[in-house]
Structure 1
Amino acid sequence: MQRWQEAGFGLYVHWPFCQSKCPYCDFNSHVSDSVDHDDWAAAYLNELRRYAEETPGRVLSSIFFGGGTPSLMKPATVAAIVDEAVKLWTPANDIEITLEANPTSVEIGRFAEFKSAGINRVSVGVQALNDTDLRRLGRMHDAREARRAIDVSQAVFDRTSFDLIYARQDQTIGEWEAELKEALALADGHLSLYQLTIEPGTVFGARFERGLLKGLPVEDVAADMYELTQDICTAHARPAYEISNHARPGDESRHNMIYWRCGDFLGIGPGAHGRLTDSDDHRYSTMALQMPGEWLEGALGRNPKDGRELLSREAQATELLLMGMRVNAGVDLTEYEGILGAPLSPAKLEPLKTQGLVNITNGLLHTTPSGRLLLNWVLKELLI
């Protein structure tokens, strides 16, 4: 059995356009005055058909519309993509079809249409529940709209999620505790809780380099916020199943679990990444052209210029560690050895076990709560 048959096969559709660019965002997103929705719909369908020729007979576990701001797509375009995907592949009985959305009134007003288009799960980019921080984050909605979006999404869809960012400028631990408890009271499903990171190439990155991004918490306070998040979410029956994602059992993001379990997924749209295993068990990484105009031209002309790279066994084993250590279930060491042809070095594992940062249970390697707080360092020690 190939890994994707156990971990799942998913489809990621990237919509690259936003109304504005958030200062913390390093995703492939662009602001455009006009978009030819008919051309974009045709391009997506061409790409689906092209990939279907390589992946006949597969069961499709999930579809995820990300971006950018995919809730700015026409619902008819979303419907066309969903309809074509479930014709080209066999949809799982419980297929998850997620759309990312922002809490603006325009996008909220389309929720019912997106449900009719086939969306059965929505992820709302709330990010903060107060107006001051929303302005600092460059968001186009206010806190009132955010709360309304949560209510409407839960009224329309059976499965929902929303995002919050913490360790924001001038945010205290007490303020984050209050906001998180409010979020847990509002949420009926999944929560994604991300620590603010300053990425190179973003507006925040440039401000930080010039010393203009004031009030960020020091590292110890950010770590305290992370630990507080784990404690509060666990107490409210939303434990972390992945380092930044919290849900009751059964409410986990099935699409994201394909990533973390190293399943196969197709990346459709500008800059989209994918992983694809062929019939000879060769595994490839794929990446579409990043610039929207270039990608559109290639996809419309059925002449895409996407990149494809054969992944070595070493690269696959490394990816299994990088992805698998993020989730509670951890990494199957027998599988790791089967990919690499050699076990993970005991000389690397034993010091981490002695320090109480990792455990091995029934052949599964996973971080302890202390180790999860130091995950990047733990991974570095395992991979050097």
Structure 2
Amino acid sequence: MPASPQIDPSADGQESAPCFGIYVHWPFCQSKCPYCDFNSHVVASVDQARWAAALTRELEHMRGLTGPRRVRSIFFGGGTPSLMEVPTVDAVLQRIHALWPVDDDLEITLEANPTSVEATRFRGYASAGVNRLSLGVQSLDDAQLRFLGRLHTADEALRAIALARETFPRLSFDLIYARPGQTRAAWERELRGALAHAADHLSLYQLTIEPETAFARLYEKGAFALPAEEDAAALYELTGAICAEAGMTAYEVSNYARRGAECRHNLVYWRYGDYAGVGPGAHGRIRSGARHLATRTLRTPGAWIEAAERSGHGLEAAEEISPAEQGDELMLMGLRLEEGVSCARYERLAGRPLDAARIESLAADGLLIRDGDHIRASAEGRLVLDALLARLLA
């Protein structure tokens, strides 16, 4: 980890004018992956025109809350946004451009699955303005794809990656590792193979068992076992070493990019900027006047769209965040980043300084690094980030 990570002063989330993004949630999928606990629903068909109209109405309501902010990034997440028809994406983007001013280099990301059917929409998305694709590849091994419940093959994934590289200026794709029985040698082969096809960004996640998922039920029955904690840690360290060799820095715990290719939208979250969330189950963080609000929309698609049509939005909560909670959220998000967090910014948000003795203790234990005003997790600290945060914020 570099001794002095570069901080982008134009986007470091100064509380007077934090960076601003818009998240659009598309909740529908062709099937439910067994590891997934996101708000996703399998349906036979979707009235795309109706959903486009509801999403644009909620955007109009959010504009009333946010005021005339400048949009740095837009992210279509899910669910499976590549099931959206091109006119639906186009309608949402046109409405955002009409409601807010946008950065000249606005980043517009859409998550996609690499099935052949969905890949046929890539050029249409690009014509609508999408300039960054995030592909849910998850594995380049057909047997592992079946285990993970994916509907595409490894060959389809490679074809989709190639088409995406031809179509979009920027591309990322996801892989899941630390799978049952996965060895260091097997993961190294798969990761090096992926890097041969990667453009400038990879999201690499360890398989975790989330409550109330199909994998949780199978895991409880002993149907499979995950690698031991020390083996998973070794895979994480191997991942960082191989990506660094390929010129991709771990700018966040699970995200690797060439310098300048970091996901700007996710940096809005991690730098504790503001974002409006629209669509079922979307969350937001919005400064509305003197208040800092946590917003949340209705989770069930049917309830959300009926509310949006009736009232112009599907919000079920817009709660003020206390100064102490703001400070905690800043740390919870920011210590995931290589660049770390400004202690002065924490104090401005929380209304109190961080405990200097705790910082010194964590630094002495090799878990935290202080670099002037900034603190950041060390390589060892990233392996136990939850425990580090618990000690720091106790």
Instruction: Please report the TM-score for the alignment, with normalisation by the length of structure 2.
Output: 0.95
Whichever residue aligns with residue 369 of structure 2, its letter is N
Residue 370 (structure 2) pairs with residue 356 (structure 1): no
Name 2:190's counterpart in structure 1. Answer: 179
TM-superposed deviation, 1:306: 2.0
Match of 2:144 among 129, 133, 142: 133
Contact 2:14 2:345 (C-alpha < 8 Å) held by counterparts: no
Residue 31 (structure 2) pairs with residue 24 (structure 1): no
- Cα distance change, pair 5–115 in 1 and its aligned pair in 2 (3 A): farther
Q: Matched residue of 1:33: which SS?
A: coil
Match of 1:84 among 81, 95, 103: 95
Match of 2:387 among 365, 371, 377: 377
Contact 2:13 2:273 (C-alpha < 8 Å) held by counterparts: no
| Equivalences, count | 382
Residue 296 (structure 2) pairs with residue 287 (structure 1): yes
1:132-186 Cα deviation digits (max 9, x unpaired): 0000000000100011111110010010000000001111111001111111111
Contact 2:296 2:315 (C-alpha < 8 Å) held by counterparts: no
Contact 1:44 1:269 (C-alpha < 8 Å) held by counterparts: yes
Give the whole-Å Cα distance in 1 for the aligned partners of 2:376 and 2:334. Answer: 8
Q: Matched residue of 1:43: which SS?
A: helix
Q: Matched residue of 1:71: which SS?
A: helix
1:3-35 Cα deviation digits (max 9, x unpaired): 466541100000000000000000000000121
Whichever residue aligns with residue 21 of structure 2, its letter is G
Name 1:260's counterpart in structure 2. Answer: 270
Contact 1:5 1:263 (C-alpha < 8 Å) held by counterparts: no
Identity of aligned residues (%): 51
TM-superposed deviation, 1:233: 0.7
Name 1:108's counterpart in structure 2. Answer: 119
Contact 2:13 2:272 (C-alpha < 8 Å) held by counterparts: no
Name 2:214's counterpart in structure 1. Answer: 203
1:322-361 mapped onto 2 (5 Å cutoff):
322-361=332-371
Instruction: Please report the TM-score for the alignment, with normalisation by the length of structure 1.
Output: 0.97
Q: Matched residue of 1:169: which SS?
A: coil
Give the whole-Å Cα distance in 1 for the aligned partners of 2:366 and 2:83. Answer: 46
1:175-226 Cα deviation digits (max 9, x unpaired): 00111111111101110000001000100011111222x2421111100000
1:55-94 mapped onto 2 (5 Å cutoff):
55-94=66-105
Give the whole-Å Cα distance in 1 for the aligned partners of 2:273 and 2:28. Answer: 27
Give 5+ residue unaligned stretches, structure 2.
1-11
Name 2:24's counterpart in structure 1. Answer: 13
Give the whole-Å Cα distance in 2 for the aligned partners of 1:13 and 1:3. Answer: 24
Give the whole-Å Cα distance in 1 for the aligned partners of 2:66 and 2:292. Answer: 13
Q: Which runs of 4+ in 1 moved over 6 A?
A: none
Whichever residue aligns with residue 362 of structure 1, its letter is G
Give the whole-Å Cα distance in 1 for the aligned partners of 2:15 and 2:284. Answer: 12
Whichever residue aligns with residue 62 of structure 1, its letter is S
- Cα distance change, pair 176–207 in 1 and its aligned pair in 2 (3 A): same
Contact 1:4 1:264 (C-alpha < 8 Å) held by counterparts: no
- Cα distance change, pair 4–147 in 1 and its aligned pair in 2 (3 A): farther
Q: Matched residue of 1:87: which SS?
A: helix
Give the whole-Å Cα distance in 1 for the aligned partners of 2:296 and 2:322. Answer: 17
- Cα distance change, pair 124–4 in 1 and its aligned pair in 2 (3 A): farther
1:218-253 Cα deviation digits (max 9, x unpaired): 111100000001111111100100000000111000
Residue 315 (structure 2) pairs with residue 300 (structure 1): no
CA RMSD of aligned residues (A): 1.3
Contact 1:70 1:100 (C-alpha < 8 Å) held by counterparts: yes
TM-superposed deviation, 1:56: 2.7
Name 1:311's counterpart in structure 2. Answer: 321
Name 1:273's counterpart in structure 2. Answer: 283
Residue 361 (structure 2) pairs with residue 366 (structure 1): no
Contact 2:109 2:130 (C-alpha < 8 Å) held by counterparts: yes
